[in-house]
Structure 1
Amino acid sequence: MIKLGKLSLLLFAAALALSAYGQAAPASPPAADAAQAAVRNPEDLALEQQLRQGIGLLQSGRPAQAITDHFDKVIAAFELRFKDDTRKFYTGRWQIDTLMYLVEAAASKEEPKRGAVVVPSLWSDAWYLKGYALVELRRISEAKSALESALALSPRNSQYLGELGNLYLGLRDWPSAFATFEKAAAAAGEFSPPEVKNAELSRAWRGMGYVYIEQNRLDEAEKMYLQCLGLDKNDQRARGQLSYIADVRSKRLSAPGDGSPLPSLPK
């Protein structure tokens, strides 16, 4: 089973420090008011600290404790806060995806009647981190449900989509993995905040490339990894996969049809 990357967790922890709680520019005066309210809200500040403490437990190898002591408590706090609210909830990382969710809600057939609102991303982050922890615990069906709960709140979040794509890779569900990474790439290109856009786009492309290799579509895989190097020439994961592709091609040319196994695909 492929684990969710440790680097991904570190990137998320850094991104939390740049979250909407004071860093992102407002999309509109109402959004600005909501962002300022989030900064002043002591409960949200306490919940953010809960997430940070949970991340610390994940990094020290205690995913079960991170869930019970922190992530579940953040989720429960938001469920209690909005238990009587029938509106559709979204979470956004910055003004672009926040505005997009509200525009899409207004254009839908159902949500104008129901109403929609953007709430602190701590809620969806808690689901995402719980999903991460559950993968560490090999509780895969629960992890999938948690990641889907995060995406229900933030469906264009490339970070969340990438983790779900990794989960499908671990299950060797290549069609679902590829479709999810495609969505992650599209979301990164259009909606990811500038400080994480390239990292999330590259991650999605690497996931697509991995599926192509598994499907023996080496030319298409190579294209994905070259695109990654176009964004970051020091992307060692992409370079490793390109070396693997070159190794496979070399072995096929030197010993065609001998039935020799291919080298192991790097994770």
Structure 2
Amino acid sequence: MNYVGIDIGSTASKVVTRGEKESAFVLPTGWSSKETCQTIKERLKEDGIDVLSDDTKVVATGYGRVAVDFADYVITEITCHARGGREMAGENCAIIDVGGQDTKVILVEHGMVQDFLMNDKCSAGTGKFLEIMANRLGVTLQELFDMAAEGTVLPISSLCTVFAESEVINYIGEGRKREDIAAGVVDSVAAKVAQLSQRKNLPEKVILTGGLSSSEYFTKILSEKIGQNVDPTKHGRYAGALGAAFLAEEKSR
């Protein structure tokens, strides 16, 4: 049997396969989740996995999960991220997932979701805000972090991405250093994620998942804001897809 987890995010789509064939890959979601799903289907077929066969089970999750018309099960992001996070951090942990559209804080106790929080989609505490600001400064996301590490924080207070971008544009117009602007941008997102996280009593083990999960700089700043250690995860962007693949297997028993 093959078990496939597909996480259709607002920015990127992640796929994890377990069982006879084991692999993981990520694709840009693009403007159409339907087209992305077709591309995933073809990519899996190239890898020897027919999603329509009886020996393959598929779980879809994420922002565009309803677009996966060949999924055997459709499961919420919270459940899938919690299952994937459990594999990465153990049965008692907190998962902070900074995605393109939203940020989630999931508390896992004894391997099950105990509680969770999600931010407002209009707030600037998401990965998409960092992408927009990186583009505004003419750098990649990694270059944004590298510059931020060399800069001094300039305050960015707006909760709305549009108004926060206006603050950045004003700083650019004033001739402020890009390193200082970058530091302000990263600090702003970390502060908003920390504010959400601190609304719950976090356990000792806290991991970061999502597109920023491998960034040691961002986890360092976030740890300082929260007041406890947040661990980066090498393959954290696959947490939802990994959890979906495990759930595909568990639901097939």
Write 1 or 2 for the structure with the bigger share of helix.
1
Question: Do the two structures share a fold, i.e. TM-score over 0.5?
Answer: no
TM-score of the two chains, using structure 1 as the length reference: 0.26
TM-score of the two chains, using structure 2 as the length reference: 0.27
Q: Which has the higher contact order (CA 8 A, sep 6+)?
A: 2
Greater Rg, structure 1 or structure 2? Answer: 1
Write 1 or 2 for the structure with the bigger share of strand.
2
